[in-house]
């Protein structure tokens, strides 16, 4: 029997949603500062309005839902999907006020794409977007990649159970250190360590290829935030075509790969455990699927004579496979060139890479390498059970920071999440086909949205149907949170209506 939620449950959830909205309001002060620094007065007003709106709504929720009750585990899980929708709504306000979006729905699409580290964009005339608004687009990725609820609420939440609920709700499971608050701080420590190295490298590369120093710094900061948090926004409308530089691409590739690697593995390397990189089964799986998908793509490109040399094929193919597999979404070709120049087989390589994703506990989306490992190991386990005598004790293990035995629980989790992603990919593709797109293009775009990648075959544009925009928003939201907290929210909504 379903139990109807109590009023106190709604107050607890509302109180912490209010905290998140306040946090979004405070974060908007950063792009406000960028606008003021660049003497962009109208964009500065946009962020004042957006921030003030968030402060008002956040404080009203804090006052009306004030309670001394701690955030429980279930409350924490339920806060997450609602909070992400709230972040999308309030994050869209200054974007809409910029005048570079055809509707508020378009600006919500952009905000969700940013927070979910996807990178599909509906910005009109991006090349003339203000520094403040452009920085805000990339900052949403930087916040969303770490986990917006954990970022805003870690230091505010009352109960450890509630913090853990939010941590799990944002599709994170591993504790880097025993305490979750310290885990969140460790994630930020690793991020800012890479930030310093990555921004300096991109700044130097930009200056080397002729971009003026201050502009190169802005590009370095924004491109790093998108690359490390595996989102595909860039400060120019042409994505990486704008740079026309193998040097800039070479600098970006290791940043994308670093963003696709588990934060716990980064921490192990930081502590001096270099062997873990070579022993880790998930990393081996990730590397193997990169090589496999690149082989498919390279063979396909050589067959269609897309480029005139093996070096050109390697440059375009490998960059896009890394961009796809890490869920980043940077492009060195125009979206329409995928179906027109690359062809179906090369697109299939990219689709598989996008769908698989990178590693667990990273900023990337997709099914994830560890779930592929679990599925393969479970298959091997069942094969051994069929071949060996019934009296034999058969186990399968993998190494991921420590030795782990394959269990039915691990297999069930991998199966459920994997099926959820695959189903979402196909459902999104059906909507794309319904609106007149080919199967290959529709599947490419759907996997890119649900896998939080950002590569496009040309479907995503301000002129696409509103229903398709909503479908992709839902895909980006569900894919980033890996479905579980959203299913919990649906169950909560049903219990409100049918519970007793």
Tell me the pLDDT tens digit for each residue of 411-463: 888 899 999 999 999 999 999 999 999 999 999 999 999 999 999 999 999 99
Give dist(CA 331, CA 322) in Å, integer.
11
Backbone angles phi, psi at 403, to 5 degrees: -70, 130
* pLDDT tens, residue by residue, 99-115: 999 999 999 999 999 99
State yes or no: pLDDT of 311 exceeds 80. Answer: yes
Asked if residue 387 lies in contact with residue 379, where contact means CB atoms within 8 angstroms, the answer is no
Residues in Cβ contact with 371 at an 8 Å cutoff, skipping those fewer than 6 apart: 360, 413, 414, 417, 418
State yes or no: pLDDT of 169 exceeds 80. Answer: no
Give dist(CA 318, CA 309) in Å, integer.
14
Closest CA to 169 of 83, 104, 99: 83
Q: What is the mean pLDDT of residues 54-68?
A: 91
Residues in Cβ contact with 439 at an 8 Å cutoff, skipping those fewer than 6 apart: 429, 433
State yes or no: pLDDT of 335 exceeds 70. Answer: yes
Per-residue pLDDT, 475: 97
Q: How many residues appear in the chain?
A: 500
Q: What is the mean pLDDT of residues 244-252?
A: 96
Closest CA to 84 of 11, 23, 149: 149
Other C-beta atoms closer than 10 Å to the C-beta of 422 total 14
User: CA separation (Å) from 213 to 64, 138, 202, 222, 234?
Assistant: 49, 20, 11, 14, 18
What is the helix, strand, coil percentage profile of the chain, to 5? 70, 0, 30
Q: What is the pTM of this model?
A: 0.94
* pLDDT tens, residue by residue, 128-142: 999 999 999 999 999
State yes or no: pLDDT of 16 exceeds 90. Answer: no
Per-residue pLDDT, 161: 58
Per-residue pLDDT, 2: 54
Residues in Cβ contact with 324 at an 8 Å cutoff, skipping those fewer than 6 apart: 293, 350, 353, 354, 453, 455
Closest CA to 121 of 347, 459, 429, 367: 459
Helix axes 73-97, 160-169, angle to 10 degrees: 60
The string of DSSP codes covering 349-367 is HHHHHHHH-S-TTSS--SS
């Amino acid at each position: 029997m379903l139990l109807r939620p109590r009023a106190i449950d709604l107050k607890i959830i509302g109180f912490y949603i209010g905290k998140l909205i306040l946090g979004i309001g405070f974060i908007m002060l950063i792009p406000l500062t960028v606008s003021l620094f660049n003497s962009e007065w109208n964009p500065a007003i946009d962020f004042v309005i957006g921030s003030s709106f968030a402060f008002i709504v956040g404080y009203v929720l804090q006052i009306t839902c004030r309670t001394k009750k701690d955030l429980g585990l279930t409350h924490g899980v339920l806060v997450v999907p609602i909070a992400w929708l709230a972040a999308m709504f309030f994050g869209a306000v200054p974007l809409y006020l910029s005048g570079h979006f055809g509707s508020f729905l378009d600006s919500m699409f952009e905000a969700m794409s940013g927070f979910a580290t996807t990178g599909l964009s509906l910005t009109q005339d991006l090349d003339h977007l203000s520094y403040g608004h452009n920085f805000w687009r990339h900052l949403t990725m930087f916040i969303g990649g770490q986990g917006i609820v954990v970022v805003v609420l870690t230091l505010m939440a009352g109960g450890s159970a509630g913090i853990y609920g939010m941590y799990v709700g944002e599709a994170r499971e591993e504790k880097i250190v025993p305490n979750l608050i310290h885990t969140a701080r460790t994630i930020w420590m690793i991020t800012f360590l890479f930030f310093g190295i990555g921004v300096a490298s991109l700044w130097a590369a930009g200056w080397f290829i002729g971009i003026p120093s201050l502009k190169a710094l802005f590009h370095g900061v924004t491109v790093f935030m998108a690359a490390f948090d595996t989102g595909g926004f860039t400060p120019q409308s042409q994505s990486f075509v704008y740079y026309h530089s193998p040097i800039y691409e070479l600098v970006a590739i290791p940043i994308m790969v670093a963003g696709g690697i588990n934060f716990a593995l980064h921490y192990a390397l930081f502590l001096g455990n270099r062997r873990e990189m070579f022993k880790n089964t998930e990393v081996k799986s990730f590397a193997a699927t990169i090589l496999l998908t690149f082989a498919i793509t390279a063979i396909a490109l050589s067959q269609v004579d897309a480029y005139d040399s093996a070096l050109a094929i390697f440059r375009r193919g490998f960059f896009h496979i890394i961009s796809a597999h890490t869920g980043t979404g940077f492009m060195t070709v125009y979206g329409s060139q995928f179906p027109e120049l690359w062809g179906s087989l090369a697109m299939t390589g990219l689709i598989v890479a996008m769908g698989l994703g990178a590693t667990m506990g990273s900023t990337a989306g997709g099914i994830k390498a560890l779930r592929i490992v679990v599925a393969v190991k479970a298959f091997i386990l069942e094969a051994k059970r069929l071949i060996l005598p019934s009296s034999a004790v058969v186990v399968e293990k993998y190494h991921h920071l420590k030795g782990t035995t394959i269990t039915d629980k691990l297999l069930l989790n991998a199966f459920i999440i994997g099926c959820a992603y695959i189903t979402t990919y196909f459902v999104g593709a059906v909507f794309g086909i319904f609106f007149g797109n080919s199967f290959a293009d529709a599947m490419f775009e759907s996997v890119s949205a649900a896998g939080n990648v950002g590569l496009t075959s040309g479907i995503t544009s301000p002129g696409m149907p509103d229903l398709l925009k909503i479908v992709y928003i839902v895909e980006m939201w569900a894919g980033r949170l890996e479905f579980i907290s959203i299913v919990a929210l649906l169950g909560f909504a049903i219990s409100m209506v049918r519970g007793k």
